[in-house]
Amino acid sequence: MAHGAGGHMMQQLVKDYILKYLGGSGVEVPLEALDDSAVIDDIVLKSDCHTVKPLFFPGGDIGRLAIAGTVNDIAVMGAEPRALTSGFVIEEGFPLTDFEKIVRSMGDTCREAGVYVITGDTKVVEKGALDKFVVNTSGIGRRMEALERNIAEVKKHRSFDARWLLDSNLRAGDKIIVSGTMGDHGIALLSFREGYDFDSAILSDVTPLNKLIMELLYVGGVVSMKDPTRGGLANTLNEWSEKSHVGIMVEEDRIPIREGVRAACEMLGIEALEIGNEGKVVVGVVAQKALDVLAALRKTEQGRDAEIIGEVTDAFTSVVMETSVGGKRILPPPVGDPIPRIC
Ligand code: MG
């Protein structure tokens, strides 16, 4: 299960078994960049499989997750998501009423995002060959004016030669912003699945972020964006640090975490910053525009808890967290996700 959990073990699986045979395309942003999406001929392309258990959970369902997940991976490259595909694999005996609920939810989320499913495939396998239902969503996006304006704004403040918002774009002095509370999706899933009764019900944050992201690009100054899904914020920051060859310093006290999520993590011995989110974005921005981007985020429903959590440095090349008690510790990349099958 750890091989599919988004952490170090999955990275190793991808490198040793997938990139070994499927890398080497030579496209603008290739498979081996392991970024949120790939880019070929200015088309942004992404594919995601969804195996969340259970299919319906507090705050969402696999249908909403499937649309939002792919839309967000395309949007965080700085692209406009344009169209999606969906491939269903269904276990024999799966109730048609549940199937309809999932597809209806996909349609609702498509309308919310303004991005539609335009082709797909449906297969049924015999009972026991699959755990109920799996969906693959792929999508394409394209370059948009908001990205050109954003990059022009970055260039007013520092040199920048990338054409997309890649994991490798961070430089010393950039600020790191999170759009909201960390850990909601994973803890909502886990507590519902395992029947834990925490004081307050925690809802998944699963939501399409493409409209919010476009607003940030119009503010300008954004150099990198990433949705902190599997492996959570800890994984996102470590991927950035590794690919940009920089250090990242974050302040624990500034990272927004809901009280209920914090309590659940303490009780279960889980690191909240390693838990997957499905409706949040981490933003790397030039220092001069950080307050403007923060203000723009806070004006929105999805970004009202946004915070500047830290900055990029040349002083070291890892992710370091200044803790609440004033110490400093390395925030390592997660080995595996503490909560399996959340997306
Ligand atoms: Mg992503």
> What does the pLDDT read at residue 40?
98
Q: How far is the centre of ligand 1, averaged over its atoms, from the C-alpha of 36 (Å)?
A: 4
Residue 234 φ then ψ, to 5°: -60, -40
CB atoms within 10 A of CB 103: 15
Q: What is the CATH number of domain 24-330?
A: 3.90.650.10
Q: How far is the centre of ligand 1, averaged over its atoms, from the C-alpha of 226 (Å)?
A: 6
DSSP helix/strand/coil, 88: strand
Predicted structure pTM score:
0.96
Going by C-alpha positions, the residue among 2, 3, 4, 6 that lies closest to residue 231 is: 6
Q: What is the DSSP string of 237-291?
A: HHHHHHHHT-EEEEEGGGS---HHHHHHHHHHT--GGGS--SS--EEEE-GGGHH
Task: Provide the greatest CA pair distance for the chain.
Answer: 59
Quick: pLDDT tens for 293-326: 999 999 999 999 999 999 999 999 999 999 999 9
Q: How far is the centre of ligand 1, averaged over its atoms, from the C-alpha of 94 (Å)?
A: 30
Q: How far is the centre of ligand 1, averaged over its atoms, from the C-alpha of 95 (Å)?
A: 31
Q: How far is the centre of ligand 1, averaged over its atoms, from the C-alpha of 301 (Å)?
A: 21
The rounded distance, in Å, linking the Cα atoms of 102 and 217 is 32
> What does the pLDDT read at residue 14?
94
**E strand or H helix at 12:** helix 8-13
Q: How far is the centre of ligand 1, averaged over its atoms, from the C-alpha of 44 (Å)?
A: 13
User: Cα 153 vs. chain centroid, distance in angstroms?
Assistant: 24
> What does the pLDDT read at residue 154?
98
Quick: pLDDT tens for 111-148: 999 999 999 999 999 999 999 999 999 999 999 999 99
Quick: pLDDT tens for 42-71: 999 999 999 999 999 999 999 999 999 999
Residue 120 φ then ψ, to 5°: -175, -170
User: What tokens does 181 get?
Assistant: 């509370």
Residue 21 φ then ψ, to 5°: -105, -30
Quick: pLDDT tens for 208-231: 999 999 999 999 999 999 999 999
Domain ranges of the chain: 24-330
Residues with a beta carbon under 5 angstroms from ion ligand 1: 36, 73, 227
Helix/strand number for the chain, H first, E second: 10, 14
**E strand or H helix at 86:** strand 80-91
CA–CA distances in Å: residue 193 to residues 134, 185, 189, 271, 326? 18, 12, 6, 19, 36
Q: How far is the centre of ligand 1, averaged over its atoms, from the C-alpha of 212 (Å)?
A: 16
Q: How far is the centre of ligand 1, averaged over its atoms, from the C-alpha of 303 (Å)?
A: 18
Contacts of 342 (CB under 8 A, 6+ apart): 52, 185, 186, 189, 190, 230, 276
Q: How far is the centre of ligand 1, averaged over its atoms, from the C-alpha of 92 (Å)?
A: 32
Q: How far is the centre of ligand 1, averaged over its atoms, from the C-alpha of 274 (Å)?
A: 14
Residue that the structure tokens 């006290």 belong to? 253
CA–CA distances in Å: residue 175 to residues 108, 126, 149, 294, 309? 35, 51, 19, 10, 8
Helices 290-298/210-219 angle, 10° precision: 140
The rounded distance, in Å, linking the Cα atoms of 205 and 212 is 14
Quick: pLDDT tens for 261-294: 999 999 999 999 999 999 999 999 999 999 999 9
> What does the pLDDT read at residue 3?
87
